[in-house]
Chains A and B, each alone.
Chain A
Amino acid sequence: MKLPTFLACLLLAAAGSLAAAPAKAPPLPSDSVYQLPLKLTDQHGKSWDWRRKRGQPQLVSMFYSSCQYICPLIVESGKAVERALTPAQRARLGVMMISMDPARDTPATLARMARQRHIDDRRWSLASPAADDVRSVAGVLDVRYRQLSDGEFNHTSVLILLDADGRMLARTEKIGSDVDPAFVAKVRAAL
């Protein structure tokens, strides 16, 4: 590596470590998915790193809004988990639905989906990563997908429960309004 490049890397690394040590929050556990930096843009057009969700257990899934068949079921699964909770428990749970199709899932599209699906806008984030980050977030969540030539996706459908620090507590591939009771039990236990 050329010397100027090396120096630039050192400077960048130094700047990075300064930026990464602001608040008094304890360091992230090493097995937290939030170890992956991930900027998301939500249905309100706001951009934030998903670490902002730290401090509250989260229900997480990946979807794409133009999906005709399974993705509405993913949203329904999230709502079904919520229905199985008391209002007090529900208030302590956040929901993050992350798009695998950022090219089409713009804030306007996500906002429309939130309206159509009657989603609780305060606790649910429908959000898109940058196109280059989709594989990475799918990687930490172990979601598999392939885009087809017609723009649809083949993908695995999962609901994942993260604790307040982003550690995976449970996952289920049972999708639909008939929720997996073992998964719901773990959600209750986490709240």
Chain B
Amino acid sequence: MRLKFAIVLFTVPVAVALAAGGAAWVKLPGGSFRSALKYEDAATTRVAAFELQKRPVTNAEFLAFVQAHPQWRRGKAPPVLAEPRYLQHWAGPVELGAKAQPQQPVVNVSWFAAQAYCQAQDARLPTWSEWEYAAAADETRRDARKDPAWRERILGWYSRPSSGPLPRAGLQAANAYGVQDLHGLVWEWTDDFSSLLVDPESRNQGDPDKSKFCGAGALSMDDRDNYAVLMRVAMLSSLQARDTTANLGFRCARDIRK
């Protein structure tokens, strides 16, 4: 087991070095893990091998995208696909300006815009399960979630005020898979954010008659001490696909090409 782990650590940087253009891609092996969410239909979540961008998409990369796809420029994208705050921190539709440094993660992007960006890279947004699987790791372990020290560290980020400028993407140490910034930088869209059926009326939890959702009802947390995941799920489930926020960015994923 330890030997296999060492091999993974050794091969990840090679995969990264081979990636060309934009953010590098990191290959994650498939596996099963226990989600912090309680799904009524499965105790463990199976994730197939996939590739994830090493860090979130930056302002510079998103600028190149809107230059090539004018329909996604601020003022051009229809408000049903990107609300009026879309890219509001940029100086202009194709100009970053002082409040949007090229290497900072892009924020104020809607789910539709993020999805269009990834499609233009022949990629897609990661699923929630893929994101949660990748984000369970710390620098040395693929699943560090049971470690109270790791949880404290992540919560430390959530408790910092978010009014200051965002750090650049790609500054933090990579996790055991070779992925950076899954915690401690921005929130991130997932492809299926709208599948996180968390009932905002928490008093309805467990009462299917009062639930907003049909089928087996709203999701609940399996791991109530994992506040980091709880907050992310609460935030994502509160959004509509056209919404943008000053702390919400994204990165792309793609299936492994055979």
0/1 string, A143-155, CB within 8 A of B gives 1: 1111111101111
Q: Quick one: which of A134-178 are within 8 Å of B by CB? A: 135-136, 138-140, 142-150, 152-157, 173
- A185 at the B interface (CB under 8 A): no
0/1 string, B69-96, CB within 8 A of A gives 1: 1100000001111000000000000000
0/1 string, A96-112, CB within 8 A of B gives 1: 00000000000000000
Residue of B nearest to A28 (CB): B78
Q: A145-B195, A148-B41 are in contact. Are A154 and B215 (CB under 8 A)?
A: yes
A70 touches B194 (CB 8 A): no
A144 touches B241 (CB 8 A): no
A139 touches B215 (CB 8 A): no
0/1 string, A78-119, CB within 8 A of B gives 1: 000000000000000000000000000000000000000000
The one of B64, B70, B197, B240 that contacts A146, using a Cβ cutoff of 8 Å: B197
| Chain B residues positioned under 8 Å from A69 (CB to CB) | 214
- B105 at the A interface (CB under 8 A): no
A30 touches B78 (CB 8 A): yes
Comparing A31-39, A44-52, A122-130, the segment that makes contact with chain B is A31-39
A145 touches B78 (CB 8 A): no
The one of A2, A10, A31, A155 that contacts B213, using a Cβ cutoff of 8 Å: A155
A155 touches B192 (CB 8 A): no
The one of A142, A149, A152 that contacts B215, using a Cβ cutoff of 8 Å: A152
| Chain A residues positioned under 8 Å from B79 (CB to CB) | 30-31
Interface size on B, residues (CB 8 A): 31
Q: Would you give the shortest CB distance from A148 to chain B, in whole angstroms?
A: 4
Q: A154-B217, A173-B212 are in contact. Are A139 and B111 (CB under 8 A)?
A: yes
| Chain B residues positioned under 8 Å from A154 (CB to CB) | 197, 213-217
Interface size on A, residues (CB 8 A): 36
B80 touches A155 (CB 8 A): no
B194 touches A138 (CB 8 A): yes
| Chain B residues positioned under 8 Å from A28 (CB to CB) | 78
| Chain B residues positioned under 8 Å from A33 (CB to CB) | 80
Residue of B nearest to A147 (CB): B195
A139 touches B197 (CB 8 A): no
Residue of A nearest to B213 (CB): A154
B214 touches A135 (CB 8 A): no
0/1 string, B164-195, CB within 8 A of A gives 1: 00000000000000000000000000011011
Residue of B nearest to A74 (CB): B214
Q: Would you give the shortest CB distance from A22 to chain B, in whole angstroms?
A: 17
B81 touches A149 (CB 8 A): no
A154 to B37: give the CA distance in the assembly, Å: 15
Q: Would you give the shortest CB distance from B199 to chain A, in whole angstroms?
A: 10
A35 touches B80 (CB 8 A): yes
Q: Would you give the shortest CB distance from A113 to chain B, in whole angstroms?
A: 18
| Chain B residues positioned under 8 Å from A30 (CB to CB) | 78-80
- B242 at the A interface (CB under 8 A): yes
- B220 at the A interface (CB under 8 A): no
B70 touches A155 (CB 8 A): no
Q: Quick one: which of B203-231 are within 8 Å of A by CB? A: 212-217, 219
A135-B115, A154-B197 known, 16 other contacts, Cβ within 8 Å: A1-B68, A9-B68, A10-B68, A28-B78, A32-B80, A139-B241, A140-B80, A144-B197, A146-B195, A147-B195, A148-B41, A152-B215, A154-B216, A155-B214, A155-B215, A156-B197
What are 25 contact pairs spanning A and B, CB under 8 A? Answer: A1-B21, A6-B68, A9-B68, A9-B69, A13-B69, A28-B78, A31-B80, A32-B80, A135-B115, A140-B81, A142-B194, A143-B194, A144-B197, A145-B194, A146-B192, A146-B195, A146-B197, A146-B219, A148-B40, A148-B216, A154-B197, A154-B214, A154-B216, A154-B217, A156-B213
